[in-house]
């Protein structure tokens, strides 16, 4: 069963936010957040009900992650005991010719948007990509998702192309930007806080 949406209210201080790498024990809470995001936002790829609901599956995926390649980060408010309020995933294909590329997906619970959570998660993910010696991070974003597009541009992504009619949302076609940045050519090497 899914948890109810946490009523965190405004984040009183950004410092209370903890960003950590998701581990198998976070699987149920992360899945719950993903289902919430699918319900809250039509800017996510999946519609409500399309995401697998098996906790074992997500635990298995997190357990298979190592210190290289794919990873998931979660943003939590430990003092408020509401589970993760934000999530970023970087997926790396298991092929040598593409092992330097991460595909990024980001989501923040609607109760916590506009308070810097997305920016902090994105920066932590980019730092972790550098630490893992990834060279390129790419993503797709619907062109009318102005908040996300603005955030990605501010954090160093550039628009590489327009994916015309790449999605059908609510019966209408939607274009997406293909965005990417080359991460090893700039920035720091700091690691995220592991649990």
Rank residues 154 and 188 by Cβ distance to ligand COA and give the closer one. 154
Rank residues 10 and 172 by Cβ distance to ligand COA and give the closer one. 10
Half-sphere exposure of 65 (CA within 13 A, CB side): 20
Rounded least distance, CB 145 to ligand COA, Å? 5
Rounded least distance, CB 10 to ligand COA, Å? 11
Residue-wise DSSP of 41-94: -TTSSSPTT-S---HHHHHHHHHH--SSS-EEEEEE-GGG----SEEEEEE--S
Rank residues 115 and 181 by Cβ distance to ligand COA and give the closer one. 115
Report the C-alpha gap between 96 and 44 in whole angstroms.
29
Residue 190: partners with Cβ closer than 8 Å, 6 or more residues away: 127, 131
Rounded least distance, CB 162 to ligand COA, Å? 15
Rank residues 45 and 182 by Cβ distance to ligand COA and give the closer one. 45
Rounded least distance, CB 73 to ligand COA, Å? 13
Which residues contact ligand COA (rule: CB under 6 A)?
37, 41, 43-44, 106-108, 113-119, 141, 145-148, 150-151, 154
- Cα 156-130-143 angle, rounded to 5 deg: 30
The residue nearest ligand COA at its CB is 118
């Amino acid at each position: 069963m899914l948890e109810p949406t946490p009523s965190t209210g405004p984040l009183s201080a950004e410092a209370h936010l903890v960003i950590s790498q998701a581990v198998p024990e976070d699987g149920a809470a992360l899945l719950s957040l993903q289902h919430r995001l699918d319900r809250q936002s039509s800017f996510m790829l999946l519609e409500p009900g399309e995401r697998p609901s098996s906790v074992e599956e997500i635990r298995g995926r997190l357990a298979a992650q190592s210190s290289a390649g794919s990873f998931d980060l979660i943003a939590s408010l430990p003092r408020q005991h509401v589970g993760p309020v934000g999530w970023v995933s970087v997926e790396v294909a298991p092929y040598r010719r593409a092992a330097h590329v991460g595909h990024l997906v980001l989501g923040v619970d609607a109760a916590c948007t506009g308070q810097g959570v997305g920016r902090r998660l994105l920066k932590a993910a980019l730092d972790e990509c550098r630490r893992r010696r990834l060279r390129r991070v790419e993503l797709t974003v619907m062109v009318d998702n102005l908040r996300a597009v603005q955030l990605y541009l501010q954090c160093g992504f550039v628009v590489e192309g327009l994916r015309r009619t790449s999605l059908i949302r609510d019966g209408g076609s939607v274009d997406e930007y293909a965005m990417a940045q080359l991460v090893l050519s700039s920035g720091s090497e700091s690691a995220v806080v592991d649990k």
